[in-house]
Structure 1
């Protein structure tokens, strides 16, 4: 790609971009008109050290491994804010950053929770923590650790909740991706940066002890982390060493009440045939450790070696209640006023079939990454870098499930204000005297992933700086393996179920437990369920009772897949600078070429025989990149970026195995398979930004963005012929195209000019508007599942003397979580989501501080519904947490 000549401008954005840019400029002026001139005399933002940066480091510009950013700051507020703002201002890509000023002072427990504070990023908390992260409404983000690819088992991404915040130095969310970054994210890049010993002046040690109470689970759990780092000057150069450790335990409870999919029921009404409950509780223990060595033999050479390890042991249970309603039994029913929607139903003497169940889950996962690398400043013009990394990840899952069934004499159900409830007056739903063993699911699985990747980068800065200010190029070679297999799925009926020989659950010692108790009122307070501890610790007894053998359910060869993926990437980039109508412009232009080779393996079922299946594929992608920055004034700059990015499909989608099912008397011949010929999802991303830095810790920024997608993946069925027989085979295909457009605005300021204690206040506010969607094969355009049209964060900050505090409010508008839910006419729509978190810290001594923090302080209730608000689906409630922490640092 040729650089844009002096005197010309970048290609014109589409009409939406032009209109939204005008709106952004207006918003910038409106937001920042007050209280800024009092800080005009402040010094310009200081330079930022970028130790541990990726191969995108300085190529003639001040900092080249980062980008324009909205910045969230945490305790020790002003120094962190200054560093983060300077990091943003001097970068070439579009990035939002969080910078820690001190060790262990992030108010959140893991990386995923922090991301919810960033402009354009949304998270969902469940199972006791934040885990689901989307950028600008899109899930396709690549996750990096210190600029390197890291993942969990067969996933392509690092599970961000596994990284404790106490290890963090900085967290960068790139909205536009540089050619020198690892490819793989259409939505952006999340780069987790950890501490290294040369980040500190000398000996540094810290220790954080925290106790956290959760209200739904009624549990108080410990969390402990520590770090020690030092550096020494010797005759052989300077050495540095760092070790860190973190332990977290979290016992949690999520509660939910659900309503079945609306059906046409008796008397011309629309309503469900079931109402139920889902209660989930777990005990998660997470260990994480890291170690780093650095050596600087002279001022020109630096060598490092580091390792990080995470281990998770997680026991959990989910209790289900499936309450069948007494339809067609002469029940008393009412409707929602003005509609034909069922509101209540009751029947005495119903003798109604009722099911409860427990899913026991025992998960174990472990991920280790070791890396070594070096940087050599050959002379004033040349810098060479290299890095080698090895990652190994394993996941094991044990998941026994038992269903029990009883017949309840009386049933009463209702749907009111988006909440379904069900009760059984006069029936022993809690004691379980009416329940017998029905089904057993003997589920288990294990996944493994590993990779070896090496990269080398060369950076050249010419002595005579003209139009070209620097050049960079590099190569990356990686080999990734992912493999998965699970047990044969399906259930086994108890031989005595629905017969005179049925086994009542109360006859089995230690088998029956009350379900987890809800905080809300959804009818019956508790119901009898199989004990999760019995399922997990006596699985052999269950196998004997249901199958007559203690042998585990065998592994299913048809579920097996393995993918050996080799990538070879080469990139080149030129840093440029010129004047456009006397306005200084700088930036970069480059391209990344990636060749991907895949060796895909699986098993097929042909004529009732298991047959090995394998195939090999090769593809090449070219990813151009343009980033420009115009310095309109010393404190005002504009940006334009255009990037092509790709997102590879999930490994399971490539599975070459084919399972064919012969036609029956009432069924067609069908088949299921993956698709080895899937292409990566492609995205062409454009950002136009305006940034005003009116103080070292004060800014207003606006970004207009546009993403154009193709090759989105959907599963569909098409006729395929094998041995003269035509089957309707379901596979994933690249079928959909899409577009996403929007605007982000962010404001940050500390009000130092206010008198006295009022000068400690600061405010951060950011908001995002998005619209767009995918064009489905039938021509219908659906907004992206999981995308809110509006989202914003308000963060109040305070720091003065020994006190510091933070109050953060997050809100996002309603969104569709699933289209054509369960193959019906209804979409699953989620009501607006909001959360309020806060923390306050007091310095007891120079080295010791006390922090009290809380999350979900308003006890948020998640609600969704079947297309119409009156057709309720779920209400879910999660733990409200209160934590108390002591932090010591030397």
Structure 2
């Protein structure tokens, strides 16, 4: 073949992974290459009978599968061949979706649920409602900071060759995920056969971010080559990417509800109403630089040696402006009564009381009051303040690894040595300014349109503004490291016993965290020191982004957050607030150091046998033995009964746990594309270091509507465990079509949840958040998924495809006597689904997808201040059902240029929360809508070398 250059779309990464071939025939697509230190869980599939020569030629001539369809076909084949229950996304899928990050791409996977973060990005991932996920990168454990999990949004999608979501487990996989695991696959040098140059540039417009000319850029580049030399094949690859995003997310919410009988100036008693209204916008910008490198050497066909590395960074200026109105401080308060009246447990302060006074409990402090709901209120002469928060955040993740893969006859030996360093820092500074305003009119609507109006918008007038509440600094640093060595060997047999595999892993994890959180009250007390005349810059106050639910989006004044990022100005404020101007030191009650060593070994065997006709069965049987030794040192406060004062005491705890995790699976192939699989495995999730921290820390609130709060760890937490069962029936047909149904059941013990409890410390009451082992819970459900391309339609319409998945989950806390017994697990939606259309023809690749998640509860607020009826024994924070519509459109302008336009959340869906039941409206978060345009170019040099 003549040497030359070839151009194509950078989004079609499979193109370069298959030696530049854009076409696929009916042959199965090869599964992803498996990293060192592990073996594929994909079993060989018996090839179909070879077609006649003429038929084969016709297939090659007629069947051309590229782009989105190729990616979906590859994902289906990975699912089909895997012994485990696995769903995958391959590189073309991520590149062709309107998704910028791994987290946003994961929401398309059956059974995966996500949430929208403060900066309007998709964050987190829950597999079948559970967040306890072990995350690996090329088969190696990866984490962010001192946590167990990884922030998926911090790894740009451009860096990935694919993502595999494991919903069942096998002995060779690293333990640590009750819910399952996510393996992110980076591209590797030997994946490329020839010189490859690729690049892309994208511009994104975010609707909430501000002006029409705000464009968020993202660029990526990749270069790879492979050389055949006298010492074998040598390959190198370098990938780079960079994103910068400006964002804004407006929020409006009702404060805790309270009996109006406690409002000193109320003219409408016997109602339950929010004690205030608040709104605000989180805004700012963040950047994500990323680089990954791969060097591989194959001296012969049986040996590969490699060195690879990753850097993923995050730099963000996270700014907030939060106006808050204390409705019960007004000179007059008049509420509008609704038509629903119920009995509430009310304390002397008008807030929730669980300790009710009854004949059996004469010392109870609370009483039962019959209160009607307030649908809105008008308050005059009300206290108002705007909190300005400025946080400078930085995360750096470095991963380096080396190892080899060696085949000696029937023996395959893999060894991998890796190191990760993850550092995170946050410097947050808050100051509040406020005054009394003439009037606030608030509406509390059951349709979640929380709204408020302040006639004349006095928050935009600097006259009368003074410092209020306290100044708060939150300075924290975290650092985590991990050394790990993995080695395994697999010996192939020729018979019913297909292979036997054994391996070991030794890992050393170190984590440290330190923090200062606190600050002084306003100088002279709230509203005592005017902003004007305080000797601060004349341009200190600026206009904050408006919130649609407050004054119809009008701006208001806040302290310029850029000043709060400047250390010189912070010194001025500390002096004004009558404390040392120097940066405060870390608080020992918030610090901890952890050391953890993990030793694991596994043994498993794969069997495969033909029964009769086309019927065959294969599977795995094995077990993983793991031991963890841990030491964690923190500090807590204890009360001296002699003096009734608290003192700091260092707590040093050492714990160990040993677990045997068995697994067994079977896949039955009935022939003709029909198969079924059955999986059992025992899995575990270890508590995070922050949950294990033996320290206790707390903060005194300077705002009378905000409770004193604190948090403490629990060094006696046990790992969560689950017995997991999966069964599926799957049918694969045509060139890239399938339908699948999976049932699953998890029996969970020692699940960790964080609850609240009231504690009295130094005479003050605090609501302390503490993790605990819940006891037992179950989760079960069904996943149905499939995809179908309508090749039978007439020319032009035969490029249409439909795809979708639907998951129903039933979960329940089964711990006898627990306050959550009988309720569903926190964070679990009963239903979620994806439904979409794709079109691929004439150089066009298009996709429209709607993603839906039903209502769920995400927090236990039983001991919070907010009122709730006495017939609701447990207070929970709920999130209403929501769906998002996204689209992506690619068009090949030429053989070497592809353009893409995409949109996310184009219907403008919002996140809406409530307390205990939907008519107790809590919060509205305005999720952003984005539109982007991208151009990709790929240059391939190919030919004989």
Q: Same fold (TM over 0.5)?
A: yes
Q: Distance in 2 between matches of 1:461 and 1:282?
A: 56
Q: 2:798 aligns with which of 740, 743, 759?
A: 759
Q: 2:149 aligns with which of 154, 157, 175?
A: 157
Give SS of 1:112's match: helix
Counterpart for residue 647 of structure 1 = 685
Measured after TM superposition, the shift of residue 519 of structure 1 is 4.2
Deviations 1:65-101 (A, max 9, x none): xxxxxxxxx9802222222222211110001101124
Q: Structure 2 matches for 1:377-776, cutoff 5 A?
A: 377-379=407-409, 381-416=410-445, 417-426=447-456, 428-438=458-468, 439-462=470-493, 464-466=494-496, 468-487=497-516, 489-498=517-526, 501-504=529-532, 508=536, 509-520=538-549, 525-537=554-566, 538-578=569-609, 583-605=615-637, 609-657=647-695, 673-714=712-753, 732-775=771-814
**CA 1:767–1:363 in structure 2 vs 1: closer, same or farther (change >3 Å)?**
same
**CA 1:522–1:630 in structure 2 vs 1: closer, same or farther (change >3 Å)?**
farther
Q: 1:171 aligns with which of 163, 167, 174?
A: 163
Counterpart for residue 174 of structure 2 = 182
Q: 1:814 aligns with which of 844, 855, 860?
A: 855
Counterpart for residue 7 of structure 1 = none
Q: Distance in 1 between matches of 2:93 and 2:747?
A: 40
Counterpart for residue 871 of structure 1 = 920
Q: Distance in 1 between matches of 2:520 and 2:250?
A: 28
Q: Distance in 1 between matches of 2:98 and 2:683?
A: 33
Q: Distance in 2 between matches of 1:181 and 1:213?
A: 40
**CA 1:596–1:469 in structure 2 vs 1: closer, same or farther (change >3 Å)?**
same
User: Which structure 2 residue ranges, 5 or more long, are not aligned?
Assistant: 1-23, 47-64, 262-268, 342-371, 641-645, 700-708, 760-765, 869-874, 940-945
Deviations 1:303-325 (A, max 9, x none): 11100001111001111111122
Are 1:197 and 1:241, in contact at CA under 8 Å, matched by a contact in 2?
Answer: yes
Q: Distance in 2 between matches of 1:414 and 1:405?
A: 22
Are 2:454 and 2:551, in contact at CA under 8 Å, matched by a contact in 1?
Answer: no
Q: Distance in 2 between matches of 1:565 and 1:140?
A: 19
Q: Does the alignment pair 1:83 with 2:113?
A: no
Give SS of 2:482's match: strand
Counterpart for residue 830 of structure 2 = 789
Are 2:204 and 2:931, in contact at CA under 8 Å, matched by a contact in 1?
Answer: yes
Q: Distance in 2 between matches of 1:102 and 1:787?
A: 26
Are 1:409 and 1:427, in contact at CA under 8 Å, matched by a contact in 2?
Answer: no
Q: 2:322 aligns with which of 320, 343, 354?
A: 320
Q: Distance in 2 between matches of 1:628 and 1:368?
A: 38
Q: Distance in 2 between matches of 1:469 and 1:830?
A: 49
Q: 1:116 aligns with which of 107, 121, 133?
A: 107
Q: Distance in 2 between matches of 1:389 and 1:581?
A: 46
Q: Distance in 2 between matches of 1:868 and 1:107?
A: 34
Are 1:59 and 1:461, in contact at CA under 8 Å, matched by a contact in 2?
Answer: no
Q: Distance in 1 between matches of 2:698 and 2:242?
A: 48
Deviations 1:180-217 (A, max 9, x none): 11110001101100111211221111100011111111
**CA 1:424–1:83 in structure 2 vs 1: closer, same or farther (change >3 Å)?**
closer
Give SS of 1:351's match: strand
Q: Distance in 2 between matches of 1:870 and 1:673?
A: 32
Q: Distance in 1 between matches of 2:772 and 2:321?
A: 36
Are 2:466 and 2:529, in contact at CA under 8 Å, matched by a contact in 1?
Answer: no
Deviations 1:450-501 (A, max 9, x none): 0100000100101x312x11100100000001110101x2331232334765
Q: Distance in 1 between matches of 2:619 and 2:802?
A: 31
Q: Distance in 2 between matches of 1:515 and 1:729?
A: 33
Counterpart for residue 217 of structure 1 = 209
Q: Distance in 2 between matches of 1:326 and 1:779?
A: 32
Q: Distance in 1 between matches of 2:27 and 2:937?
A: 29
Counterpart for residue 290 of structure 2 = 288
Are 2:466 and 2:527, in contact at CA under 8 Å, matched by a contact in 1?
Answer: no
Are 1:106 and 1:166, in contact at CA under 8 Å, matched by a contact in 2?
Answer: no
* TM-score (normalised: structure 2): 0.83
**CA 1:837–1:501 in structure 2 vs 1: closer, same or farther (change >3 Å)?**
closer
Measured after TM superposition, the shift of residue 63 of structure 1 is 8.3
Q: Structure 2 matches for 1:359-370, cutoff 5 A?
A: 359-370=389-400
Give SS of 2:98's match: coil
Q: Distance in 2 between matches of 1:728 and 1:344?
A: 28
Q: Distance in 1 between matches of 2:510 and 2:540?
A: 41
Q: 2:190 aligns with which of 183, 198, 216?
A: 198
Counterpart for residue 61 of structure 1 = 43
Q: Distance in 1 between matches of 2:281 and 2:879?
A: 19
Deviations 1:256-290 (A, max 9, x none): 11012222224211211101102110200110000
Deviations 1:661-684 (A, max 9, x none): 9xxxxxxxx997533332100011
Give SS of 2:462's match: coil
Task: Tell me the C-alpha RMSD between the 2 structures.
Answer: 2.7
Q: Distance in 2 between matches of 1:636 and 1:233?
A: 42
**CA 1:59–1:116 in structure 2 vs 1: closer, same or farther (change >3 Å)?**
closer
User: Which structure 1 residue ranges, 5 or more long, are not aligned?
Assistant: 1-41, 65-73, 662-669, 721-726
Q: Distance in 1 between matches of 2:651 and 2:296?
A: 47
Measured after TM superposition, the shift of residue 712 of structure 1 is 1.3
**CA 1:132–1:167 in structure 2 vs 1: closer, same or farther (change >3 Å)?**
same
Q: Distance in 2 between matches of 1:59 and 1:701?
A: 19
Measured after TM superposition, the shift of residue 847 of structure 1 is 1.1
Q: Distance in 1 between matches of 2:385 and 2:85?
A: 52
Deviations 1:2-38 (A, max 9, x none): xxxxxxxxxxxxxxxxxxxxxxxxxxxxxxxxxxxxx
Q: Distance in 2 between matches of 1:493 and 1:870?
A: 36
Measured after TM superposition, the shift of residue 433 of structure 1 is 1.7
Q: Distance in 2 between matches of 1:691 and 1:59?
A: 17
Counterpart for residue 240 of structure 1 = 235
**CA 1:710–1:566 in structure 2 vs 1: closer, same or farther (change >3 Å)?**
same
